[in-house]
Structure 1
Amino acid sequence: MSRFPVVGQSRQQRGWRLRFSLAVHFPARVVVYRFMAEVVRPAVVAVAAQLRDKGVDVVSRF
């Protein structure tokens, strides 16, 4: 199933098709771990650093 709308497809039709596609797509464990390492962890570290700069005692366990 393509994520690109077919010519003449209504917004409602694209909506349910996209929701269905997202509901049945489960990323592989390695993809999830890579996302956590490359996106989530740096974000947590950055937020923790900002909070520390404001004087908040922060402990992040990642």
Structure 2
Amino acid sequence: MLTDNGEDRQNRPIKYGLTAAENQRRLELYEQEAMERIRAADAQDALLLQIGLALAQRER
């Protein structure tokens, strides 16, 4: 048997998702990961450029 203790559990708001602070932190992490990927890609490009220049100097 159910009794009503004055607690409206059926109609209470249900929280789905993240709070504003949690969402902001998630966005900051996405931005940080993107910046790390950009730095890694730039480092690879610089390395390939150095290799290409070294090979060009070697052929002369």
Provide the TM-score with structure 2 as the length reference.
0.41
Structure with max Cα Rg: 2
| Higher RCO, Cα 8 Å, sep 6+ | 1
